Amino acid sequence: MKECIEVDFVACTIHFAIIKTALLLVTVRKELKFEGSLMELSNRELSALIWTAAILVYIFFKDKGDNIAKSFKLLVRAFFSPQIMVVVLCAALWIILCLLGLHYVDIWTTANLKTTILWSFAFAFLTLMDVNRISEDNTYFKKTIRDTVNVTAIITFIAEAYSFPLFAELVLFPFLFCVTAMHVMSGKKKEHASVHSLMSGMLVTVGCAYIGYGIYMAATDFEDFATWSNLCEFFIPIILSLLFLPYLYLISILVSYELIWVSLRFALKDASLRRYAMLQATIRFRFDLEGLRRWKRNVGAYPPESREGILNAISEVKKYQKRERSPSNVSPDAGWCPIAATGFLLSENLKTSDYHRTYDDEWWASSTYLTINEESLFSSNIAYYISGDKQAVKRLKLVLNVNNNEDSEVAEARFHQVCEVLFLSSIGDASSEVLERISHGDDIDTEVHGRRVRLRKEAFVNTSRGGYSRTMTIDYSPDCRAPYE
């Protein structure tokens, strides 16, 4: 009885909090609505705030041991650390300077304040929190520019320009949350394929409804829609995103140098040699983050013991970067050109890292894992490796990891496709006989146009999901053996 009363009390408290939050937000919306301003919250934004507040209230009420509250305090304390606050405050100053510049040319006004605040949290703040990944991803800025300026931005703006009545938005928010969650979870198992298709259809239907409603309202209310203020509302997030990229680039450089300084403390025990290494790296690489990362990796693998060794490590990276820009020809009898081999599977999203020296003077490069089913928890994947010496690649290796037997059919089809591309790129001919044997799952050890082609299959052990791996290697010569075995 006591438990029932406690549950009812908590439920009533939550309902009361939801009602109070809704009334408060409605009041705030009325207060923020002043002439010439777009600070008014739309019904969609108001609905999101109400449900977010309700979920937070529920979570904290259910937190009997104050574990969530303690974790939240630690998170807040970590956020307000001096290192993070300096970066955030400098970002705020950068944004303010950008807004002053846009205001000077009559693009930004206080009417765009709400859009600016939303952009600051949705783009600027989140990207700053992920700056470590930005400093490691050479394609981040290209992807960001491409994603910022595309047709999707126009469609999203039209869909978000008009919202449904508040009651409809309050119903749609939890509905879409549940449908999205079911869509993700149902994609992890093959037996839930029908549910996954149903959820996909529902998401597409709701998305089309949002877009269709936006287009209809814009068409019927075109005079109010096609205004200078709406045009500014559309372009301001795009302009701010592009203007924020130089700051992100600067921060990524500082983070990269800080990480390198930390790694040098472990690689170089001599403090004077460590300072000399950092000075030379700063002078020689400057804004070349890719070269800097390569140098850090080489120093970690082969720590130099003198200033000459520091300079030699830098020179090695510089020479190979120059070689990448102007690759030399490699005789087919000697293997493959390393620069060409790293891009054999570029069309299949299997671009490798740079070809570099490893232990025992062997050179190699590898790709990241290509996930075959993004929505599966234990998705199968494919990886691509190349190895050889400084002058030429001697071996190409393609590995398929089937981590779940339910994905085996799709994984095998994808592996067969990638194998065909690799044959065409490396040998110049996709042997139909070999490809047929690959599709049948046979083990292979044969010669194709003077290259040794092998394929083997190994079952995984100690796993309830089953699974196996298939490894295909193409050697530059039928007599190729160790050290590339």
Q: Has residue 120 got a pLDDT over 80?
A: yes
pLDDT of residue 233: 82
Residue 34 tokens, joined: 């002043």
Q: What is the mean pLDDT of the chain?
A: 80
Closest CA to 383 of 367, 403, 407: 367
With b for 16 or more beta-carbon neighbours within 10 A and e for fewer, the 472-485 pattern comes to bbbbbeeebeeebe
CB 444 within 8 A of CB 433: no
Residue 261 has pLDDT above 90, yes or no: no
Amino acid 15: pLDDT: 45
pLDDT in tens, 121-153: 888 888 888 777 776 677 777 888 877 777 667
Predicted local confidence at residue 266, as pLDDT: 83
CB 94 within 8 A of CB 86: no
Distances (CA, A) of 443 to 76, 339, 471: 56, 30, 10
Exposure string over 60-93, b if 16+ CB within 10 A, otherwise e: eeeeeeeeeeeeeeeeeeeeeeeeeeebbeebee
Per-residue pLDDT tens over the stretch 202-234: 888 888 888 888 888 888 888 777 788 778 888
Over residues 314-327, the mean pLDDT reads 86
Q: Give the residue-averaged pLDDT of 362-370.
A: 90
- Taking only the tens place, the pLDDT of each residue in 271-310 is 888 889 889 888 988 888 888 888 888 888 888 888 998 9
What type of residue is 409? E
CA atoms within 13 A on the CB side of 371: 7
- Of 371, 318, 29, 369, the C-alpha closest to 187 is 371
Give whole-number Cα distances, 305 to 267, 276, 279, 310, 316, in Å: 10, 12, 16, 8, 16
First vs last C-alpha separation in the chain: 71
Give mean pLDDT, residues 301-322: 87
Q: Check whether the bond before 327 is cis (ω within 30° of 0).
A: no
Query: Between 151-161 and 193-220, two packed helices, what is the crossing angle to 10 degrees?
Result: 70
Which residues are within 8 A (CB) of 244 and not within 5 positions of it... i.e. 6 or more apart?
Answer: 91, 94, 95, 98, 123, 124, 127
How far from 384 is each of 35, 117, 164, 395, 448, CA to CA, in Å?
60, 43, 49, 11, 20
What is the per-residue pLDDT for 174? Answer: 87
* Continuous segment of H or E residues that includes residue 254: helix 228-267
What distance in Å separates the CA atoms of residue 277 and residue 201, rounded to the nearest whole number? 57
The answer, yes or no, to whether residue 64 has pLDDT greater than 90, is: no
What's the mean pLDDT in 57-72?
Answer: 76
Nearest one of 455, 392, 456, 400 to 426, comparing CA atoms: 392
Q: How does pLDDT run across 389-429, given as a tens digit for each residue?
A: 888 899 999 999 988 777 788 888 899 899 889 988 888 87
> Which among 154, 217, 205, 213 has a CA at the least distance from the CA of 176?
205
Q: How confident is the model at residue 244 (pLDDT cuts 50, 70, 90)?
A: very high
What is the rounded CA–CA span in Å between residue 421 and residue 396? 13
Over the Cα atoms of the chain, what is R_g? 29
C-alpha–C-alpha distance, residues 397 and 118, integer Å? 47
Higher per-residue confidence, 154 vs 117? 117
Whether 183 contacts 199, CB under 8 Å: yes
Give the residue, 187 or 4, on which the prediction is more confident: 187
